[in-house]
Amino acid sequence: MALTNLQQRIISGIIGGAGVVFCLLYNQWSYLFFLLALGVAGQYEFYTLIKNDGEDPLSKWGILNGFLINILTFLVLANLIPAKIFTILFVLIGIIYITELYRKSSNPFENIAFTLIGIFYVAIPMAMLHVAAFSQGVFSSQIVGGIFFMLWASDSGAYFAGKAFGKHKLFERISPKKTWEGLAGGLALAITLAVFLGYYFHDLPTWKWICLAIIIATTGTYGDLVESMLKRSLQIKDSGNLIPGHGGILDRFDGILLASPFVAFFLSIF
């Protein structure tokens, strides 16, 4: 008997969630492996969508740049390599322009632009998670784990509150099912979890956990809306089919792509 979409979501969510939690909390190297795999898969999915729409980004160079941004940021923040090594990224970005010159394409501006968008939309937000993870001077699995836990709490709270109480549309033009009541429910559950994290996780004080919950619930929702906007422009329902019941990598982790820079900024300032 075929599983329903909800059953697929639950099963893949449990299995995938357990794997993600293990990678985030086991040690800094399992965390790095997960972020690298997530970044590469996310960029590959992004470039595949763009190619299916008739464009021709430099996918390999984009993914290589994204991979290096991700791993170099981690290694620099872990004090394993000097920060000046970042200069190699500007060399590789320059190679993108040179490579496009030899492709003799009729749309060089579009090809370069979509290549860079893949880096800025997927790779850099992944690297910003490292900034949050090392915001206390050393790697904190509590912080990175808490970020994902609160994002999932926000998503779950928004889903169930929207189902039960949703009446007022949040952004009907982009996502007809999202409501203000859902946003409030997601925010409430994320804040509740933040208080719990503040009690048991001591790398951050409770007030910072609560601030992070507000940031994540808000920007994570906008991250979902941004991805919906992009999918609508491409006239597709899901960004991929890698995760049964959830769609693709970008579908499942769209919230973190917008939330992570805001989280990193907050933790860097405070």
How far is residue 212's CA from residue 237's CA, in Å, rounded to a whole number? 30
Which residues face 243 on adjacent strands? 247
The pLDDT of residue 246 is above 70: no
Which residues face 247 on adjacent strands? 243
Q: What is the band of 143 on the pLDDT scale with cuts at 50, 70, 90?
A: very high
Q: What is the pLDDT of residue 177?
A: 87
> Tokens standing for 89?
């990224």
Q: What is the pLDDT of residue 130?
A: 97
Q: What is the pLDDT of residue 6?
A: 57
Cα angle at 186 between 181 and 187, to 5 degrees?
95
The pLDDT of residue 65 is above 90: yes
The whole-chain average pLDDT of the chain stands at: 91
Q: Domain segments of the chain: what residues?
A: 5-269
The pLDDT of residue 202 is above 60: yes
The predicted model gives 31-40 an average pLDDT of 96
How far is residue 55's CA from residue 113's CA, in Å, rounded to a whole number? 11
DSSP-assigned states of every residue in 113-125: HHHHHHIIIIIHH
Closest C-alpha among 268, 139, 171 to residue 212: 268
Q: What is the band of 247 on the pLDDT scale with cuts at 50, 70, 90?
A: confident
The owner of tokens 């601030």 is 211
Asked if 122 and 43 count as a contact pair (C-beta separation under 8 A), the reply is yes
Q: Rg for the chain (alpha carbons), in Å?
A: 19
How far is residue 134's CA from residue 141's CA, in Å, rounded to a whole number? 9
The pLDDT of residue 30 is above 80: yes
Q: Which region among 104-118, 169-183, 214-228, 229-243 has the lowest average model confidence (pLDDT)? A: 229-243
How far is residue 233's CA from residue 241's CA, in Å, rounded to a whole number? 19
DSSP run (H or E) holding 69: helix 59-77
**Cβ contacts of 70 within 8 Å, gap of 6 or more:** 35, 36, 39, 123, 126, 127, 130
Q: What is the pLDDT of residues 99-133, one digit of tens each?
A: 999 998 888 999 999 999 999 999 999 999 999 99
Q: What is the pLDDT of residues 4-25, one digit of tens each?
A: 655 666 766 677 788 888 999 8
